[in-house]
Structure 1
Amino acid sequence: MRIDKILANIGYGSRKEVKKLLKNRVVTVNGETVTDAKTHVDPKKDKMTVYGEKIEYKEYIYLMMNKPAGVISATEDDREKTVIDLLEMEDAVYEPFPVGRLDKDTVGLLLLTNDGGLAHQLLSPKKHVPKTYYALVDGTITEEDKKAFAAGIKLDDGYVTKPAQLNILRSGEIRSEIELTITEGKFHQVKRMFEAVGKKVVYLKRLSMGPIKLDGDLAEGEYRELTDEEIDLLKNRQ
């Protein structure tokens, strides 16, 4: 890969700006100063520095975010703050996008990556990737609700959901706590499922997606890169 493309992708500016860096003789590859923008580099083997600082190039980035309420799951928006706006520039330059969506007021696990192939695998309806949510629900959740969710819930548009696993954590007269695992991602699906049985979700948090669980050390709005083990779990998921 050309050195100018690598440096531009990492965030050192446009191709034109990168050429200025090279002309200023501040870029080295394997200890040798490089001034030619067309110089080819193997980012996996060659050691690169800019102003003496070692730089690492990676083709893909994989992030786990604890999405806060009030931001939307999009790459850009003229009016709303997006999850991409929460990223540091060093991560944003890789142009990651959210894998699926969480509603504006929903919090919790959101994966972001620029690996389109992996994102497709996770979002494909044929893969039935499980997603688990914690919710506070107005109303009393009953065993009948649990059975109804296991059989499939008919939504307001007539669609019948695939079987879902409803775990009742606490059933109260006014408000209940539940965990719900679904294998689809219909628009506002969790909220619509509860509305179909006469209940209202007042707080919703995604806990897991496939084999990846939300890191409990991440405060809302924080994120981190996935570990190599977590990436392998996603890629090797059958």
Structure 2
Amino acid sequence: MLRLDKFLCEVNAGSRSQVKAYIKKGMVTVNGTVITKPETKIEEEKDEVIFQGSPCVYRKYVYYMLNKPRGVVSATQDNVNETVTGLLKQTGYHDLFPVGRLDKDTEGLLLMTNDGALAHSLLSPKKNVTKVYYVEIERPLTKEEILLLEQGVDIGEEKLTLPASVELLTEKSLYLTITEGKFHQVKRMLQAVSNKVTFLKRTAMGSLRLDESLQAGEYRELTAEELEDLRGLGDA
């Protein structure tokens, strides 16, 4: 059970002081009864709460697909750069965070949520959740270099990178699928075969595919099917 004022905060009806004022003014009903005490306890998933004529639907966790633009950092706050959480201010949810990270100059798929358990599960090295990147490079890869990328390369870590998958699109573009998420990993992998990334975009994470209708900086909530598939990955 939740206090009524806390419930209204969590459904983004206002700040704690604002919702207390709304309640005391008789602007909130619970199961058809006007409630004027902010401390009133309610069953958040059963009771019908109406505020200013509209029902308040309680959702503890929310999930958004963001097409991250370049120039924005994958952080909840930054004193210098715009953050991915800043792009989702209009959702009203202030506890969102990115699942994993994309470099400042990398764009593409980023899952934003407040579900820590799912995020932890998807990022666990034991899960081997795949990440697919569209990569543009400085020069064409040789067959030997492709084989090295797929088998594992030395990027300065204790071990070689885990096996990857390379799908050539043109001489200077490819899809690279990896199961790790090391710092600057894709760039370091290409550097390991004496090449350079000129453009990088993540297109998929596990079962989740970037909605190509989303322009850079745009976002949408996950569909029920997308969320179910992601949870299946986390439970695997």
Task: Report the number of matched residues.
Answer: 233
Tell me which of 167, 188, 195 is aligned to 2:191: 195
Q: Which residue of 2 aligns with 1:147?
A: 147
Which 5+ residue runs of structure 1 have no aligned equivalent?
A: none
* Residue 6 (structure 1) aligned with residue 7 (structure 2): yes
Query: Is the CA contact (8 Å cut-off) linking 2:24 and 2:38 kept in structure 1?
Result: no
Counterpart mapping for 1:75-224 below 5 A:
75-93=76-94, 95-157=95-157, 159-171=159-171, 176-224=172-220
Query: Is the CA contact (8 Å cut-off) linking 1:84 and 1:92 kept in structure 2?
Result: no
Counterpart mapping for 1:45-56 below 5 A:
45-56=46-57
Q: Distance in 2 between matches of 1:187 and 1:35?
A: 52
Q: Distance in 2 between matches of 1:111 and 1:141?
A: 31
| Amino acid corresponding to residue 185 of structure 1 in structure 2 | G
* Residue 70 (structure 1) aligned with residue 59 (structure 2): no
Q: Distance in 2 between matches of 1:75 and 1:103?
A: 14
Residues 158 and 90 (structure 1), Cα distance of their counterparts in 2 relative to 1, 3 Å cut: closer
- SS at structure 1 position matched to 2:42: coil
Query: Is the CA contact (8 Å cut-off) linking 2:27 and 2:52 kept in structure 1?
Result: yes
CA drift of 1:149 comes to 1.2
Counterpart mapping for 1:29-48 below 5 A:
29-48=30-49
CA drift of 1:12 comes to 3.0
Query: Is the CA contact (8 Å cut-off) linking 1:107 and 1:205 kept in structure 2?
Result: yes
Q: Distance in 1 between matches of 2:174 and 2:150?
A: 14
CA drift of 1:96 comes to 1.0
Q: Which residue of 1 aligns with 2:24?
A: 23
- SS at structure 2 position matched to 1:236: helix
CA drift of 1:157 comes to 4.5
Which 5+ residue runs of structure 2 have no aligned equivalent?
A: none
Query: Is the CA contact (8 Å cut-off) linking 1:134 and 1:180 kept in structure 2?
Result: yes
Q: Distance in 1 between matches of 2:44 and 2:154?
A: 52
CA drift of 1:22 comes to 0.6
Tell me which of 223, 226, 233 is aligned to 1:230: 226
- The TM-score, its normalising length taken from structure 2, stands at 0.94
Q: Distance in 2 between matches of 1:235 and 1:19?
A: 36
| Amino acid corresponding to residue 84 of structure 2 in structure 1 | V
Q: Distance in 2 between matches of 1:225 and 1:147?
A: 38
Q: Distance in 1 between matches of 2:142 and 2:48?
A: 61
Report Cα offsets for 1:160-213 as digits up to 9, x if no partner. 100110111111xxxx01000000000000000001101100100001001100
- SS at structure 2 position matched to 1:20: helix
Query: Is the CA contact (8 Å cut-off) linking 2:208 and 2:230 kept in structure 1?
Result: yes
Query: Is the CA contact (8 Å cut-off) linking 2:165 and 2:178 kept in structure 1?
Result: yes
CA drift of 1:142 comes to 2.2
CA drift of 1:86 comes to 0.6
- The TM-score, its normalising length taken from structure 1, stands at 0.94
Percentage of identical aligned residues: 48
